[in-house]
Chains A and B, each alone.
Chain A
């Protein structure tokens, strides 16, 4: 069903950052993912698009096992996360996750948000953790907010801090779950700018998004999901610019309709 890929599928296994095979996920009797195969090469940006309820977010949340897959295999950087013996906490430190609702720790200031997991999980000493935190805060352009509490920041600033927090763990892969969907339209650009810069630096990224312009410009590949399947996949230009599948076409027609300025939430 999915268009087989042009980008080096036959490459060595070490080129693969994420490999998902036969992934299924059910919530009770509701089948959300019905058999997904996804490969993300190291350094690639893959955007996942599709209507609400298509399983995009669930797919992303399965990649770091925030959701337990019902069936299938997930391999990130050569480590199989679906292996029952794997140390999932250790594996998660290599996978950064950015949420739609930011989820900054509301009782900690910005610096401590960036330091707490470095200290408690990676066991870095305070000096090193602070250095890493400040460097990443600078990366997202918020060096002046070191001591702010999350509640004092705008949504866009909170999301950039959340990105810096994930980056502070030095992850191999970054997952973005609709990172701009909770933002006021004028704040979306800052967050996308940071993500674009990350992509340019060669970060491997799996991004669930409604921002078609971003997907088109930044993604190496785009997956279109609907009804628990990957319906269409390929280079961004092809999937968004010249979709083959009828469901992709109707979805894009709705989203790209000029009367819809922002991301459509229905």
Chain B
């Protein structure tokens, strides 16, 4: 009865495949396929959603995300530099900001911007400003830490080389450190962009005109008029149209920068000077 180690591993792997097969068979037998098709794959409803799903909803999702990401990146860079500042109060402010906005739901920020700020300050933002500020404020909190890590990952020798050529501290930062830092953090920044793409759906809280719908709102609105979950599936697939290429891009960049790092002398340990 005693099995060798290899036999046991083999049996275990067989059991895993068997479990999959059993689950698939059960699903096929138990599920009501007609019902599922009516609920999720109603082609008529799906067809009605086009071209607006692309020309309005997908386009708006892209625009909202791009605005939020651009603002978040700029603010995140400022916060990252504050975190690295020799002036302690700047570091404290950046830390408080980051901890706060990483800790609260993005939805609260949307609500505050669209209802709280107009009441408190008498400022009324249009929808583009609201989405840019809300997504940017939240995104910056995440991106600041990533950018800081990227700046610190630039080898010290690069900075010394720049300074020894007479570049000032600011010039070194602009010409050498930041370009290299962004190369290093492109993969995590791409992931941040994916998260923001999904968070752009929170703009629904404001109440949108029809031509301002982004994907989620568009899907929910279609859903309210049709007896099928098909719209949700359609907009879900539209999100994947954005996020899958981004994820692919992120992995591609990761491989590329990973390969590049290996070839620099700093990372071989030879850069350590006596």
Contacts and interface: CB of A to CB of B under 8 A. Distances in A.
B104 interface: no
A122 B165 CA distance: 10
Given A117-B167, A121-B166, A102 B274 contact: no
B161 A104 contact: yes
B265 A89 contact: no
Interface stretch (B18-26, B61-69, B168-176, B225-233): B168-176
A198 B88 CA distance: 47
A105 interface: yes
A103 B160 contact: yes
Contact of A53 (B158, B164, B274): B274
B183 interface: yes
A117 B157 contact: no
B124 interface: no
The number of chain A residues touching the other chain, given as a range, is: 35 or more
B179 A107 contact: yes
Contacts of A89: 163, 166-168
A121 B161 contact: no
A104 B260 CA distance: 14
A120 B175 contact: yes
A158 interface: yes
Contacts of B157: 99, 101-103
Contacts of B164: 64, 66, 92, 95-97, 166
Nearest to B181: A107
Q: Is the interface of B mostly helix, strand, loop or mixed?
A: helix
Given A117-B167, A165-B165, A57 B274 contact: yes
A158 B268 CA distance: 15
Given A66-B163, A151-B264, A106 B168 contact: no
A129 to B, nearest CB: 13
B266 interface: yes
Contacts of B260: 106, 151
Contacts of A117: 162, 165-167
Interface in A137-160: 150-151, 155, 158
Interface string A162-194: 100110010000000110001000000000000
Of B161, B163, B260, B264, most A-chain CB atoms within 10 Å: B161
Interface of A: 52-53, 56-57, 64, 66, 89-93, 95-97, 99-107, 116-117, 120-122, 150-151, 155, 158, 162, 165-166, 169, 177-178, 182
23 contacts: A53-B274, A66-B160, A89-B166, A89-B167, A92-B163, A97-B164, A99-B273, A101-B265, A103-B157, A103-B161, A104-B161, A107-B179, A116-B175, A117-B162, A117-B165, A120-B171, A121-B165, A150-B264, A151-B264, A158-B265, A166-B165, A178-B274, A182-B265
